[in-house]
Amino acid sequence: MPFRMLLLALAVLAWRDGHTQATATVTPDDRWHFALGAGASVLSGNTESRSLNAGGEAVHMSDHDRFGLYGRTLDVQTPAQRTRTLGAGGQYNRDFSLAFGLGYHAMKTDASTADLTAGLAATDDRYVLPAIIAGTERSRYVRAETILGENSDHKLASGTTLKQKFALYNDQRNRGHWRAEFDGGLSVPMTASLSLTATLNHRYDSEPGPGLQHHDTRFVTGVSMKLD
């Protein structure tokens, strides 16, 4: 199958650390569906690093609403430093007006779903070394952020799935500070429960801090397991 050969090639050529995609089944059967994913990479030669990552996803979808949860962790070590990240979140979408501030089904068919989202998030950043954030040196920065976003799921041939999500965040303590996040993933089944995955993550920060770039891009391949 061409998609499988493509993902196997990407697994060999992957050069950026990121999170393995865990893709749960998305179907309006009013049941919970779960998926777990894990990946690892080791680089040696001109660049030396190793990374371990794991993630999970849970999706419950009916004819009129959808509820999703996710969690992920990433550990990256180089000769100079070691970083660990942990993230978790959830999203609820329902077929009613955007004025409720939760979500709206923009498209829903057997092969594809698309949702629009607006809401409020709480973000807590902590720094190993103090950094200049919003004009002040800080070791921690907690703030509320407004969110505008969209996400979609698509079922392709032979059980292959494509997912993408885009979100725009505005810092309510510093209104001129914007963040944008894009996550896209392809999952190709190997068996009824195991799939090869490829994920692209791109981040933009309008005020990344002194000496830091505005853009970060990561690509990772791995394996996920569905628990239906």
**Full pLDDT tens readout for the chain, 228 residues:** 444 444 443 333 333 334 456 678 877 888 898 988 877 776 665 557 788 888 888 988 887 788 888 888 878 888 877 777 777 878 777 654 433 445 566 677 878 888 888 888 888 888 777 878 878 888 888 999 999 999 899 999 888 999 999 999 999 998 999 999 999 989 999 888 888 888 888 899 998 877 778 988 877 777 888 777
pTM above 0.85, yes or no: no
Q: How many residues does the chain have?
A: 228
Structure tokens at 130: 């103090």
Q: Which domain holds residue 95?
A: 2-227
Number of domains in the chain: 1
The amino acid at 16: R
Look up residue 181 and give its DSSP letter: E
Please answer whether residues 89 and 70 qualify as being in contact, where contact means their C-beta atoms are separated by less than 8 angstroms: yes
Integer Cα distance of 30 and 135 in angstroms: 48
Integer Cα distance of 181 and 170 in angstroms: 12
Sorted by sequence, the CB contacts under 8 Å of residue 43 that are 6+ apart come out as 15, 49, 50
Backbone φ and ψ of 157, nearest 5°: -65, 150
Residue of 106, 35, 91, 36 whose CA lies nearest to 61: 91
Pairing of strands 65-77, 215-227: unpaired
Structure tokens at 38: 């894990």
Please answer whether residues 19 and 199 qualify as being in contact, where contact means their C-beta atoms are separated by less than 8 angstroms: yes
SS3 label, residue 11: helix
The amino acid at 107: M
3-state secondary structure 80-147: CCEEEEEEEEEEEEECCCHHHCCEEEEEECCCEEEEEEEEEEEEEEEEEEEEEECCEEEEEEEEEEEE
Per the DSSP assignment, residues forming a β-bridge with 59 are: 33, 68
Q: What is the CATH number of the domain that holds 172?
A: 2.40.128
